[in-house]
Amino acid sequence: MLSKLTTPFFAAINASRYGVGLYVLMGTFCVLICAFSALFFGVIPISVADVFNAQATFEQHILIELRLPRVLLALCVGAILAICGCITQGLFRNPLADPSIIGVSAGASAGASIVIVLFSEQVSYFGGLSLVFFGAFIGSILAVFLVYRLATTAAGTSVTTLLLAGIALTFFAGSLASFLQYLGDNDMLKRLSLWRMGGFDHANYTHVALAISMLLILCAILPRFIKALNAFLLGESQAFYLGINVKVTKRVLIICVAAGVGLSVALAGTIAFVGLIVPHIVRLCVGADHRLVLPISACLGACLLILTDTLARTVLQPEEIPVGLITSFIGAPVFMWLLKTHHHKVVDP
Amino acid sequence: MSGLFVKGKGLSVKALSVMLRDQCVIKNANFKVKQGEHACIIGPNGAGKTSLLKALAGDFPPDKHTISSQEAEGIFWCGQNMHHLTPRQRAQTVAVLPQFNPLNFPFSVREVINLGRIPYATSTHVNGFIINTLLDWLALTPLQHKQYVQLSGGEKQRVQLARVLAQAYGNSDTFDGSNKLLLLDEPTSALDLQHQTACALLFKQLQQQGLTIVSVVHDINLASQMANTLIGLKHGHIIVKGTPHKVITPANIQAIFDVDAHVMTHPNNQTPFIVM
| pLDDT at residue B27, rounded to an integer | 86
ipTM above 0.95, yes or no: no
Spatial neighbors of B203 by CB under 8 A, at least 6 apart, are B38, B213, B226
Which pLDDT tens digit goes with each residue over B100-118?
888 888 899 999 999 999 9
Mean pLDDT of A65-90: 93
Q: How far is A179 from chain B (nearest CA, A)?
A: 40
Interface check for B111 against chain A (CB to CB < 8 A): the answer is yes
Which pLDDT tens digit goes with each residue over A119-150?
765 566 666 677 888 888 899 889 888 888 88
Percent of chain A whose predicted confidence (pLDDT) is above 70: 89
| pLDDT at residue A15, rounded to an integer | 52
- Locate the chain B residue with the closest alpha carbon to A233: B103
pLDDT grade for A93, boundaries at 50, 70 and 90: confident
Residues of chain A contacting residue B147, judged by C-beta atoms under 8 Å apart: 3-4
pLDDT at A6 over 60: no
Decide if A244 and B167 are in contact by the 8 Å CB cutoff: no
Of the candidates A4, A234, A244, which has its C-beta nearest B106's C-beta?
A4
Q: How far is A288 from chain B (nearest CA, A)?
A: 5
| pLDDT at residue B73, rounded to an integer | 72
Counting other chains too, the contacts that A18-27 makes at CB distance below 8 Å and 24 or more residues apart are A19/A292, A20/A291, A20/A292, A20/A295, A23/A286, A23/A292, A23/A295, A23/A296, A24/A295, A24/A296, A24/A299, A27/A295, A27/A296, A27/A298, A27/A299, A27/A300
Which pLDDT tens digit goes with each residue over A259-306?
999 899 888 888 878 888 899 888 888 888 999 999 999 999 999 999
Mean pLDDT of A15-19: 58
pLDDT at A188 over 90: no
Q: What is the number of CB-based contacts under 8 A between chain A and chain B?
A: 90
Mean pLDDT of B61-67: 55
Decide if B92 and A243 are in contact by the 8 Å CB cutoff: yes
Interface check for B147 against chain A (CB to CB < 8 A): the answer is yes
- The more confident residue out of A231 and A23 is A231
Mutate to test the interface with B, among A2, A241, A297, A344 (most CBs of B within 10 A): A241
| pLDDT at residue A17, rounded to an integer | 55
- The more confident residue out of A18 and A40 is A40
Q: How far apart are CA B103 and CA B156, in angstroms?
A: 10
What is the bridge-based pairing of β-strands B11-20 and B74-77? antiparallel
| pLDDT at residue B183, rounded to an integer | 95
Of the candidates B59, B115, B149, which has its C-beta nearest A234's C-beta?
B115
What is the signed CA dihedral for B266, B269, B271, B275, rounded to 10 degrees? Answer: -20
| pLDDT at residue A217, rounded to an integer | 96
- Locate the chain A residue with the closest alpha carbon to B91: A243
| pLDDT at residue A54, rounded to an integer | 76
pLDDT at B229 over 70: yes
**Highest-confidence range of A1-5, A199-203, A206-210, by mean pLDDT?**
A206-210
Q: How far is B140 from chain A (nearest CA, A)?
A: 19
Report the CATH number at residue B215. 3.40.50.300
Backbone angles phi, psi at B38, to 5 degrees: -125, 120
Decide if B103 and A234 are in contact by the 8 Å CB cutoff: yes
Mean pLDDT of A225-244: 92
pLDDT grade for A346, boundaries at 50, 70 and 90: very low
DSSP B138: T
Domain edges within chain A: 8-345
Residues of chain A contacting residue B90, judged by C-beta atoms under 8 Å apart: 243
Interface check for A289 against chain B (CB to CB < 8 A): the answer is yes
Say how many domains are in chain B: 1
Decide if B118 and A231 are in contact by the 8 Å CB cutoff: yes
| pLDDT at residue B8, rounded to an integer | 66
Q: How far apart are CA B190 and CA B170, in angstroms?
A: 27
Decide if B101 and A234 are in contact by the 8 Å CB cutoff: yes
Decide if B96 and A241 are in contact by the 8 Å CB cutoff: yes
Residues of chain B contacting residue A242, judged by C-beta atoms under 8 Å apart: 91, 115-116, 118-119, 167
Q: How far is B102 from chain A (nearest CA, A)?
A: 7
pLDDT at A92 over 50: yes
pLDDT at B64 over 60: no
- Locate the chain B residue with the closest alpha carbon to A349: B102
Of the candidates B91, B107, B153, which has its C-beta nearest A242's C-beta?
B91
| pLDDT at residue B102, rounded to an integer | 84
| pLDDT at residue B223, rounded to an integer | 92
Decide if A287 and B106 are in contact by the 8 Å CB cutoff: yes
Interface check for A240 against chain B (CB to CB < 8 A): the answer is yes
Please give the residue range of the domain that contains residue B42.
2-275
pLDDT grade for A3, boundaries at 50, 70 and 90: very low
Q: How far is A238 from chain B (nearest CA, A)?
A: 8
Q: Which of the listed CATH numbers 3.30.70.2860, 1.10.3470.10, 3.40.50.1000, 3.30.70.250 matches domain A8-345?
A: 1.10.3470.10
Q: How far apart are CA B223 and CA A37, in angstroms?
A: 68
Q: How far is CA A263 from CA A113, A303, B72, B257, in A?
A: 16, 19, 53, 59
